[in-house]
Chain A
Amino acid sequence: MNVQDRPAAGGTPPPPGRRRTALISAAVVGVVLVLLVVVLATRKPASTDPHNSALVGQPAPVLEGRYVQGNRVEMGDGSHFVVVNFFAAWCTTCVQEHPQLKAFEAEHARTGDATLVSVVAGDTKANARDFFHANGGGWPVVYDADGRTAVAYGMIKVPETYVVDPAGTVIYKFSAGVTKDALDSLIAQAKRQGA
């Protein structure tokens, strides 16, 4: 009970004016609270699905940096899918997914429908070279020296893999490790939809 609603000395009830003020105040506060709850409940949650990055559906950012190995990869020339894999030599998930990427690359180098490119994120050029030397794989590797490519992709943590369609549009983002099967089925699905 509000102080001003307390019965006056002698037990007489508060005058009707005060009651009306209290009612109106309570109604205004109530309406504001309800509006706030409605607005907050209908907003997009802060933690969005990482696999559905907002970059999906957008043109893939340019891969900037020097190539540690392989030839420059062009995206959006209409001829092939591009799989962009962010990695670091110190990242254990990257080591684990590497055989999957190798198998994927070997198969699609034959069919020519998809190219794999790795981006060194948060590691040195020398470590990246040693990594490929130790684990194999001869596909193009870009050294993102100051991290601008990682930031342009909204990358958070290695490994992350983005699939870019032949038109140069990002169609999917894998956070954490990726498998050959997952990449293959995604590309097959995109081909069916595009056909």
Chain B
Amino acid sequence: MSGARRWAGWVVIAVVVVGLLAFGSYQRGPQSDAARAQALDETIRCPQCSGESVAASDAPIARSIRNTVSRMVAQGQSDEQIRDYLSSPNLYGQEVLLDPVNKGFGALVWGVPVAALVITAAAVTLKFGDWQRRGNRHTTAADRSLVEEARRGAGADPS
């Protein structure tokens, strides 16, 4: 396969992956208040339950938090303001957020995998390039004499 065709394959894969990621994370237009509240409810943990969002739980406090989210959305508060209010230390703390915040120490959760991926990809690329360059090296006179010597040794050995 020619170099150009091989690269074309990689480019197609990269375009498809980036396209799908962009499609998946795209915010579709202005959401209705109910949809926004529902989306927020799904990111907030029910403090009384184990690992359940307030959207999924029917516990009294989950209902109270859903009401609070709906009221704050109707008041025009931003998603961040609502999440900050509920996760303030006086109320339920950071543990109430099901998806970690992307600032401060919580940013590590998002940053470390990305950094690991980039570093690994870079290292693999460099190493492959290195191996490829070595593979293209021409045999030297010293290599030939080594092989010749080994052959003679094998020929002399009767076993």
Contact = CB atoms under 8 A, between A and B. Distances in A.
B63 A147 contact: yes
B95 A156 contact: no
A161 to B, nearest CB: 16
A39 B104 CA distance: 12
A156 B59 CA distance: 10
Interface string B44-65: 0001100000000001110111
B67 interface: yes
B68 A151 contact: yes
Contacts of B26: none
A190 to B, nearest CB: 20
B64 A121 contact: yes
A134 B93 CA distance: 37
Majority-rule SS of A interface residues = loop
A191 interface: no
Given A54-B90, A55-B90, A122-B60, A148 B105 contact: no
Q: How large is the interface on B (under 10, 10 to 19, 20 to 34, 35 or more residues)?
A: 10 to 19
Q: How large is the interface on A (under 10, 10 to 19, 20 to 34, 35 or more residues)?
A: 20 to 34
Majority-rule SS of B interface residues = helix
Contact of B68 (A39, A46, A123, A148): A148
B61 A122 contact: yes
Given A39-B105, A156-B47, A151 B60 contact: no
B67 A152 contact: no
B89 interface: yes
B65 A151 contact: yes
A120 to B, nearest CB: 10
Interface in B81-115: 86, 89-93, 95, 105
Contacts of B93: 46, 48, 54
Give the residue among A48, A54, A121 with the most B Cβ atoms within 10 A: A54
Contacts of A154: 90-92
Interface in A34-81: 39, 43, 46, 48, 53-55, 58
Contacts of A6: none
B4 to A, nearest CB: 31
B90 A151 contact: no
A48 B67 CA distance: 26
Given A146-B68, A146-B71, A151 B91 contact: yes
Give the residue among B61, B65, B68, B92 with the most A Cβ atoms within 10 A: B61
A158 B90 contact: no
B61 A155 contact: yes
Interface of B: 47-48, 59-61, 63-65, 67-68, 71, 86, 89-93, 95, 105
Top 5 nearest A-B pairs (CB, nearest first) are: A147-B64, A122-B60, A54-B89, A146-B67, A154-B91
7 contacts: A54-B90, A54-B93, A58-B90, A122-B64, A146-B68, A147-B61, A156-B48
